[in-house]
Amino acid sequence: MKIKNLGLLLFILSMQSSHAQPTETINTAINNTPEQQEIINLSKQKWNWMADKNVDSLGVLFDDKSMFVHMGGSWGKTQELATIKSGGIWYKKAEVYAVVVNILGNTAILLNDIDLQAVVGGNEVTNPFMVTEVYVRENGKWQMGSLTFSHLLRPVKMKTNNK
């Protein structure tokens, strides 16, 4: 009897947690404020600069105290720019599937659901990530304070040349 009750309890708990998962795709094209759209556009430009290894523009965007969290470690602005410039990580292409931006005072938090095609240590890889970007506005200008890659368990959606 105890085993049946335990099984029933686990079933109920699993059903409740499965219903807590979001099931709809975030629509990035409607209902954004101009300020949210500005952050979305800035993020898109950042992905282009990263693909082009444009460390000059990225150096202006990244705050001096910015932090970057990757699957292989975390570091600051100087190391991130050096990694991009040297090709240690080449962010070839980010396919963005969903974006949401929350603005809290002078801080914007952007979440991107992406597939990232990159060359890491000479090997081309494609991974699904939820990328968290934090921007802070000072003197009317947005600067990135943090960029964090969280690996997703979903399959890669991007069509790549190596597949």
CATH assignment of the domain containing 37: 3.10.450.50
Structure tokens that stand for 48 in this block? 């282009």
Residue 51 included in any domain: yes
**Residue 18 pLDDT level (bands cut at 50, 70, 90):** very low
Note the pLDDT tens digit of each residue in 59-92. Answer: 999 999 999 999 889 999 999 999 999 999 999 9
Residue 60 lies in a domain: yes
CA distances from 93 to 2, 9, 138 (A): 53, 45, 29
Low-confidence winner among 8-12, 31-35, 60-64, 79-83 (lowest mean pLDDT)? 8-12
Nearest to 131 by CA among 112, 151, 107: 112
CA-based nearest residue to 114, from 129, 101, 125? 129
The answer as to whether 143 is a domain residue is yes
Q: Is residue 17 part of a domain?
A: no
Number of domains in the chain: 1
Name the pTM for this structure: 0.79
Higher per-residue pLDDT: 2 or 19? 2
Judged against a pLDDT cut of 80, whether residue 58 lies above it is answered with: yes
How far is it, in rounded angstroms, from Cα 128 to Cα 113?
8
Average pLDDT over residues 11-34: 49
Task: Look at residue 44 and tell me if it is in a domain.
Answer: yes
Residue of 85 and 163 predicted with greater confidence = 85
Q: Is residue 68 in a domain?
A: yes
Structural domain boundaries enclosing 82: 31-151
| Confidence category of residue 162, pLDDT binned at 50, 70, 90 | low
Please indicate, yes or no, if residue 22 is contained in any of the structural domains: no
Residue 23 lies in a domain: no
